[in-house]
Amino acid sequence: MDIFVLYVALFFGFSIIGYYFETIKKKVGKQPNNVIISGPYHPIYGMGAAFIFFICSLDFNPWLQLLVIVPVIILAEYLGGLFFNKFLKLQLWDYSTKKFNLQGQICLSTCIAWAVIVAVFVFLLFGLLDSWLTPTVNAGILVACLIIIFVNDVIKTSIGISRNKKAKAGVD
């Protein structure tokens, strides 16, 4: 159970950090903040952090960890972008104007940025997080509350999207 609490805490913590990172980035760049969930979460950041933490906890050479993690993170961004664009008809990001992009979903400069972020996580943050994140009863209660808030937010957002689609289609 402790390991479950740890990964849920990582997921929620970094989902919220990702939300604020994206919000600040969009405000500075004067771009719309396209979101799929109305609350302060960007789940891809939470999943990425949990994945990175898992690979780092396997205790093999950090440079090899980097070589495993970076391509997976970049692939997740690429496939995630395709999924949102093709299946949900939602464009959350567009790198098509940047040099060396692949279908506007990933580009060289963003891939380099992800490599730097992953390197910081692997070489600096993992050690801090590994020693700091020790699940307790309080953490379990906090995680349970976060799960309830997150599920509530997903449901409310889904209902809102459904209502908006019906309103645009003229269906009551």
Note the pLDDT of residue 113. 92
Judged by DSSP in three states, 24 sits in helix
Q: Are 72 and 51 in contact (CB under 8 A)?
A: yes
List the one residue out of 99, 48, 43, 92 whose CA is nearest residue 70.
48
Judged by DSSP in three states, 133 sits in coil
Residue 65: how many CB atoms within 10 A of its CB?
A: 22
Question: 87-115: per-residue pLDDT in tens?
Answer: 888 887 889 999 999 999 999 999 999 99
Q: What six digits make up the tokens of 91?
A: 């464009």
Rounded distance between C-alpha atoms, residue 141 and residue 146, angstroms? 9
List the one residue out of 12, 39, 3 whose CA is nearest residue 145.
12
Query: How much is the pTM?
Result: 0.72
Rounded distance between C-alpha atoms, residue 147 and residue 32, angstroms? 27
Note the pLDDT of residue 65. 95
Please list the rounded mean pLDDT of every run of 10 residues in the chain (172 residues): 76 82 79 64 86 90 95 93 86 88 93 94 84 62 73 76 63 54
Note the pLDDT of residue 154. 81
E strand or H helix at 95 = none
Rounded distance between C-alpha atoms, residue 169 and residue 102, angstroms? 33
Rounded distance between C-alpha atoms, residue 105 and residue 125, angstroms? 27
Q: Are 107 and 100 in contact (CB under 8 A)?
A: yes
Judged by DSSP in three states, 61 sits in coil
Note the pLDDT of residue 5. 76
